[in-house]
């Protein structure tokens, strides 16, 4: 299994989640985060924003679905401007459902 | 080293903290998150009793027969359900024990009990002393 962590624009969150739901991946955990990237924040006139608000979506999928989910998030969260965010993929050994105690997604 | 990411009900946090403490692993990180699973959110009737009003407009209405009927014909009103995410980094050999006890305490039998993920961790540093890996989480 793979854990996909996508840092995206907050306003793109609903679009991404609905697209994932449509593709059969309804499960997602989201949290508001603040971060900065290569550009070290944002300069608007005299005001410098060091950290910008983003939404972190966390999705755990089977190995074979990884590419599809990453592609989908990429397509939907893209605006082409700086600050679209990053997607990280990391390995997950096992997943358990608390209600049943079973292993697997 | 393994990272245990447990996404659980909000009201189970104190109990789970106590259990982890009793097992000798008191260190953890808690985050407030919103999540959804296979059920794609929750309907009014299924939601946690402690659900804040903002998650459910119908819950604000006074319970009369008509609002009751309205509540039960409402489509999925809550896209996300509030949860707590616990992150615990522990040595490999205790992972199964901890996961089992989290499942035991976090269990209610209803949808929305949450998920637990176990992932490998490449390294750890204790910032105060600079200790690495195993020593850092001991």
Q: What is the pLDDT of residue B63?
A: 52
Q: How far is CA A58 from CA A48, A76, B46, B117, in A?
A: 29, 16, 24, 11
Q: What is the pLDDT of residue B23?
A: 93
Task: List pLDDT tens digits, range B85-122.
Answer: 999 999 999 999 999 999 999 998 888 899 999 999 99
Q: So what's the ipTM on this one?
A: 0.84
Residues B95 and B116 sit within 8 Å (Cβ to Cβ): no
Mean pLDDT by 10 residues, chain A (105 residues): 95 91 91 91 90 94 95 93 93 93 87
Contact call for B83 and A101, based on CB within 8 A: no
Q: Which residue from A58, A94, A99 is facing B111, i.e. has the nearest CB?
A: A99
Contact call for A98 and B106, based on CB within 8 A: yes
Q: Residue A66's closest CA among A87, A83, A84?
A: A87
Q: Which residue from B2, B38, B102 is facing A27, i.e. has the nearest CB?
A: B38
Q: Is the minimum CB–CB distance between B11 and chain A shorter than 8 Å?
A: no
Task: List pLDDT tens digits, range B8-43.
Answer: 999 999 999 999 999 999 999 999 999 888 877 766
Other CB atoms within 10 A of residue B33 CB: 18
Token pair for residue A103? 């292993």
Q: Is the minimum CB–CB distance between A60 and chain B shorter than 8 Å?
A: yes
Task: List pLDDT tens digits, range B37-70.
Answer: 887 776 654 444 445 555 555 445 445 554 554 5
Q: What global pTM score does this model have? A: 0.80
Q: What is the pLDDT of residue B42?
A: 67
Q: What is the pLDDT of residue B118?
A: 95
B125-134 long-range Cβ contacts below 8 angstroms, 24+ apart: B133/B1, B134/B1, B134/B91
Q: Enumerate the domain spans of chain A.
A: 2-52+63-79
Q: How far is A16 from chain B (nearest CA, A)?
A: 13
Burial class (CB in 10 A: 0-12, 13-18, 19+), B86: buried
Q: Which architecture, in CATH terms, is B2-39+81-137?
A: 2-Layer Sandwich (3.30)
Q: Residue B104's closest CA among B12, B22, B36, B32?
A: B12
Phi, psi of A71 (to 5 degrees): -60, -45
How does residue B74 score in pLDDT terms, banded at 50, 70 and 90?
A: low
Q: Enumerate the domain spans of chain B.
A: 2-39+81-137, 42-78
d(CA B1, CA B121): 6
């Amino acid at each position: 299994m793979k854990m996909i962590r996508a840092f995206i624009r907050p306003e793109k969150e609903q679009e991404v989640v609905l697209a994932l739901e449509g593709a059969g991946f309804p499960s997602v955990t989201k949290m508001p985060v603040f971060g900065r990237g290569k550009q070290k924040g944002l300069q608007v006139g005299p005001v410098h924003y060091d950290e910008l608000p983003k939404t972190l979506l966390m999705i755990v999928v089977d190995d074979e679905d990884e590419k599809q989910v990453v592609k989908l998030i990429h397509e939907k969260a893209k605006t082409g401007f700086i600050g679209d965010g990053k997607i990280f993929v990391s390995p997950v050994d096992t997943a358990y459902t608390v209600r049943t105690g079973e292993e697997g997604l | 080293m393994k990272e245990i990411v447990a996404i659980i009900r909000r009201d189970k946090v104190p109990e789970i903290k106590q259990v982890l403490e009793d097992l000798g692993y008191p260190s953890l990180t808690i985050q407030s998150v919103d999540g959804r699973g296979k059920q794609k959110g929750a309907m009014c009737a299924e939601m946690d009793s402690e659900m804040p009003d903002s998650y459910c407009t119908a819950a604000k209405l006074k319970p009369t027969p008509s609002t009751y009927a309205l509540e039960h014909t409402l489509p999925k009103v809550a896209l996300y359900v509030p949860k707590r995410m616990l992150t615990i980094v522990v040595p490999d050999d205790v992972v199964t024990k901890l996961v089992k006890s989290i499942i035991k305490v976090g269990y209610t039998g209803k949808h929305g009990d949450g998920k637990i993920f176990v992932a490998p961790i490449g390294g750890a540093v204790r910032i105060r002393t600079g200790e690495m890996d195993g020593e850092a989480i001991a």
